[in-house]
Structures are given as C-alpha cells and as structure tokens.
Structure 1
C-alpha cells in the first residue's frame, strides 16, 4: 500500500515540479532581459521556495538549521555532502541571503527548463569532469567572482551523489581552486540528511513519501594556515558528526 502511495504522490509532485520549471523559465527570461540579473535571481529564489515546500505534497517534511551566525561582509564557500538532485533547492532558498552560486557539472547547462538558464546567468562554474584543466579554470573564475562581488559558492566535494548515505571522500582540488582567488572566504560545511532516502532512484521516480529531509549549516572554518586537504577533512568530519 505504501509503494502505491509513493507512486501516486510522486506523480503529483513531479507534474507540479515540471510545471514550475517551465513557467519559471519564461519568467526568468523576461526578468533578466527586462529588469536585469538581480531580478532574475529573485525569481530563482522564488522557484526554489516553490520546489522545496512542494515536497509537502508527498507528505515529506523539511527542516533547516543554521547553528552559527555567518558573516555577510566576506565571501563564503559552502561545502556539502551530496545525496540527491534535491539537495540544491533548499540551499538556494534558505541561504539566499548569501547569494549562492554553484559548482555544477556541465551536462546540466543545457536542455533543462529554468535550471540550465539559471546556471548560465548566475555565473555558475560549469565543469567537465573529464577535463581537469577546464574544471579548474571554471572554478577559478567562480572564485574570482565571489571575491569581487561578496557572493558565496557551493561545492559538493564528493563529486557524485551518494545514494547510500555514506559519504565518499571529499576531494580537495575544487576547494583549493575556490580559495585561490578568494583567500578571505569563510569555509562553511552543510550536512544534508534524508535526501538519499527520499530520492533513491536515478530517475526521480518514485520518490519516497513521508520522508524527513534536513539541512544543517555548521560552524565556519577559517582557511588561513590550512591546506585544502586539511579543510576538506575538517569539513567532512564536521558533517559526519551530524550524519552519525
């Protein structure tokens, strides 16, 4: 009976999700071309609010905790574990104050309504995981952007999603590149829980109804005097404590 309910509620949510992407794509295009990037980004925040709280259509609950105050007068590099495609919307919405820009695989930059358009307009680092030189160049560009504009960057150092919930080792290369041109950035870990259980399938269907999702923003790590490897390890250990 629960599996049947998963299929029914997932169908409702994914229709809702698809409509959001199509409708907000058109709104983004108008907002960017008529009013500019800042307005387009406000539209993106609204889209991610709708995506995040739309999960209640499946009986799923969302919990966000920020355990420490974060500065707004310096760049921030958010480091999170990666469990699902749905890790991203809540980060966009709940951390919108810090103007997050993502490190994303380049495959997402075309063909997906709303998402692909925003990746291009938000200055996201679009990396080709088969081309290390290109990936580093893109992340360095984003590093310079957040330094010059006091934005934040979001990176998933595992590289790929862990559907088991067990974190893969954090790669330090992307973190090193982000710090290089934004040496004053604060490193902030985010622990994501429950998304691997909510979305255990590669095709987003069916989702598991009545899941419990949470995002916990942890204490910042000052990068001064630390190597990228040390930062990656410290961030992973902090996240692991939350995941248990």
Structure 2
C-alpha cells in the first residue's frame, strides 16, 4: 500500500492522526536539541556511553509513537540473535522507523549510510560520533572499499554491522535487487549474516509526515553462515528468506 492509497483509505480519526503525527515530529525534533550535543560530549567517554545516550532518544521516540500515534511493534526471532557473536544484519528498508528502532532491540551496531547525512548541523555530527560506515553512493567502488574496511574494524571491535542491501527505502510491496556488499563483508570476515524483514513502511511511510496506528511486525531470521561460501550465495539466501518473510506478513 503506498502513501497516497493509505491516506485516502484511512478510516480512523484523521484529526487524531494529524495531531499525533505532529506531536511525534515535534518531540523528535526538540529532543534532538538535548540529545545530539550530549552525544558529542560523550566523545570524551567510551563508545558505549555515546551509544547509550542515543538509546535514550530512541526509547523516547518509540514511546511518543506508542502514546500519540498508537503505533506499536512486535519482534519475532530474537532467539536468533547472539550479542556475543558479531554479525552482519541484512534488513529490508522501508522507512526511517527501522533506522531508529533497531538500536533498541538489536545488539550495538554500526550502520551503513550515505555520507551526506553527516553534514547535517549538530545531528549529523552526532551520528558521526556513533561509528557509522559513511559512503558516497555516487562512487560504488569506493563505497564498497569503505564498507569492507570499516566493517571489518567494527566487527573486530565487537560491533554488529547493519546494511540495507536495497540501498534505499522501498515502498511496501516494492522489490529491489539486493546489493552484495554486506554479503561480501560476511565472506571476507567469516561473520554470519542475520536477515531481518519488517513492514514498517505500512505504518511509518517513507517521505510521509503521517504515522498510522497499528503494529509493526519485525521478523529476524536464523543466522546464515558465510565461512567457505561465496558472497553471491550468502546474499541470495538472505534475499530469499526476507522475500518469504515479507509474503507471510
């Protein structure tokens, strides 16, 4: 369901929908005035401190969404997550929700993102302090080199690495071919891949101000071993698992 279709066919209280979305937006924006500088101050402390500070904002945003937008989430498959085994997360990408919420229930991780996001005043600088893997999407070869180099460093440090192999947010029902960068990182490091499917785009649509009530479903698949395997095969297995999980939602 695309944004226009969902907005047109919404049968709930539209005043509540708009007011709740406005409160969420205002709360997210205003709270950044406090959280972002706090993360930057956290540069004087271990990385885990900065990550925990960011986690406070994440929990606040999820609370705002629940209280004012009646937007909840449920996670299936947490038994497939072993925080002690650094892994590469290959996830469906539909909205901004997963870039926020994953920090709450997945192990401490680095996120692959476009470098231009780090140029945003204050908040971009704060994101830079959270050990992202920032790439130039216009230079694919350089982007892959950065992913492989920085990803290995962070995995060696015990962090997980989150990659959205579709490369950009896709509308619900839209399918894009997976890029193999995350699988190549898994092949080179021997770390497993953990596939993740979700339907956040139905309730928190991309490029939309409105956030719809409901329950976002997240499915975490069994780990996919990479040792002794080709990146293409690892990537194809993750893509197939996510496609099946999306059909079941």
Asked if the contact 2:21–2:69 (Cα under 8 Å) also holds between the matched residues in 1, the reply is: yes
Q: What is the aligned partner in structure 1 of residue 227 from structure 2?
A: 224
State the shift of 1:67 in Å: 4.5
2:120 is the alignment partner of 1:111: yes
Gaps of 5+ in 1: none
Gaps of 5+ in 2: 1-11
Distance 1:175 1:43, change over 3 A: same
Q: What is the aligned partner in structure 2 of residue 142 from structure 1?
A: 150
Q: What is the aligned partner in structure 1 of residue 201 from structure 2?
A: 196
Q: What is the aligned partner in structure 2 of residue 79 from structure 1?
A: 90
Task: State TM-score, norm by structure 1.
Answer: 0.88
Aligned residues: 235
Q: What is the aligned partner in structure 1 of residue 47 from structure 2?
A: 37
Query: Partners in 2 of 1:159 and 1:175 — Cα distance?
Result: 14
Q: CA RMSD in A?
A: 1.9
Query: Partners in 1 of 2:82 and 2:155 — Cα distance?
Result: 14
Query: Partners in 2 of 1:58 and 1:72 — Cα distance?
Result: 31
Asked if the contact 2:180–2:231 (Cα under 8 Å) also holds between the matched residues in 1, the reply is: yes
Q: What is the aligned partner in structure 1 of residue 5 from structure 2?
A: none
Q: Could you list the per-position Cα deviations for residues 18-49 of structure 1 after superposition, in whole angstroms to 9, with x for gaps in the alignment?
A: 1122210122122223x342211111122212
Q: After superposition, where does 1:173-188 map in structure 2 within 5 Å?
A: 173-176=181-184, 178-179=185-186, 181-183=188-190, 185-188=191-194
State the shift of 1:92 in Å: 0.7
Query: Partners in 1 of 2:33 and 2:72 — Cα distance?
Result: 25
Asked if the contact 1:197–1:211 (Cα under 8 Å) also holds between the matched residues in 2, the reply is: no
2:63 is the alignment partner of 1:53: yes
2:25 is the alignment partner of 1:22: no
Asked if the contact 2:80–2:221 (Cα under 8 Å) also holds between the matched residues in 1, the reply is: no
Q: What is the aligned partner in structure 2 of residue 214 from structure 1?
A: 217
Which is further off, 165-174 or 121-130? 165-174
Distance 1:25 1:119, change over 3 A: closer
Task: State TM-score, norm by structure 2.
Answer: 0.86
2:153 is the alignment partner of 1:153: no
State the shift of 1:84 in Å: 0.3
